[in-house]
């Protein structure tokens, strides 16, 4: 049997499974740390966006618009190839965490801002009338309601973040996509390589996406 999916090509892949396993682990690590950074940045800048202080709002807009309107590839290239010319040589793993973290942080900031703003103003006013302070009202009244609305889009961001770590393959990132490219361009057994790689990404993203679906359904019932 010949063609891109010939049997011996699958056998070769099974033989070299450690190559893919190593990349897979790296992708999981990158995604986990990237997600933590993205959540931290997202919550911080998202709350800045809901603030009444003009400067905070401007900071939020600059970050969100600048990151959302430039391609992730360019941002990664800047971190990887650009910074060394300024004397900053970040390891490629850090480039990855910073790259996807900052990129998705901007999207998460919007999710958080939208979540907080979706809570009717009356809730905050009612809280004030009961003697809550601004932060007291935020923590006990507004954020718990915003959280419910933000969860489904947040999980979508997590799924996108995992998939976007594959951009790191362009700068020899040592994650799953890099090893898939590396392995299959040497022996040209690209058929099995990309099918298996796709399935591995699916195995990470699908459970998360279904979790998001479930959250969404729960939300419909409770609201």
**Residue numbers of the site for other proteins (CB under 8 A)?**
1-6, 8-9, 80-82, 84-85, 89, 169-172, 178, 181-182, 184-191, 195, 198-199, 202, 206, 210
Cβ distance to other proteins smaller for residue 186 or 223: 186
From the CA atom positions of the chain, what is the Rg in Å? 21
CB closer to other proteins, 144 vs 198: 198
**C-alpha–C-alpha distance, residues 98 and 75, integer Å:** 10
CB-CB contact of 70 with 167 (8 Å): no
CB 181 to other proteins: min, Å:
6
Q: Could you tell me the CA-to-CA distances from 155 to 11, 107, 108, 150, 173 in Å, in that order?
A: 36, 12, 10, 9, 24
Select from 208, 113, 121 the least CA-distant residue to 158.
208
Q: Give least dist CB 24 to other proteins, A.
A: 17
Residue with tokens 């998001």: 212
Residue with smaller CB distance to other proteins, 1 or 55: 1
Q: How far is the CB of 26 from other proteins (least distance, A)?
A: 14
Contacts of 136 (CB under 8 A, 6+ apart): 127
Comparing CB distances to other proteins, the nearer of 41 and 171 is 171
Round to whole Å and give the CA distance between 68 and 104.
Answer: 9
Q: Give min distance, CB of 159 to other proteins, in A.
A: 15
Between 43 and 195, name the residue whose CB sits nearer to other proteins: 195
Residue 204 Cβ vs other proteins, minimum distance, rounded to whole Å: 13
């Amino acid at each position: 049997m010949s063609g891109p999916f010939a049997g011996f090509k699958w056998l070769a892949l099974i033989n070299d499974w450690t190559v893919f396993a190593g990349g897979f682990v790296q992708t999981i690590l990158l995604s986990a740390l990237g997600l933590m950074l993205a959540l931290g940045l997202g919550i911080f800048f998202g709350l800045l966006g809901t603030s009444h202080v003009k400067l905070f709002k401007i900071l939020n807009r600059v970050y969100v618009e600048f990151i959302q309107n430039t391609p992730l590839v360019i941002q990664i290239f800047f971190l990887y190839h650009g910074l060394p010319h300024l004397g900053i040589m970040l390891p490629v793993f850090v480039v990855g965490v910073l790259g996807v973290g900052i990129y998705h942080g901007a999207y998460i900031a919007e999710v958080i801002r939208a979540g907080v703003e979706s809570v009717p103003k009356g809730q905050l006013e009612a809280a004030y009338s009961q003697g809550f302070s601004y932060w007291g009202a935020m923590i006990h009244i507004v954020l718990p309601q915003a959280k419910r609305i933000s969860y489904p889009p947040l999980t979508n961001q997590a799924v996108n973040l995992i998939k976007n770590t594959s951009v790191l393959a362009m700068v020899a990132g040592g994650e799953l996509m890099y090893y898939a490219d590396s392995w299959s361009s040497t022996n040209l057994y690209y058929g099995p390589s990309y099918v298996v790689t796709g399935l591995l990404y699916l195995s990470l993203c699908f459970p998360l996406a279904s979790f998001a679906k479930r959250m969404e359904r729960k939300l419909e019932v409770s609201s």
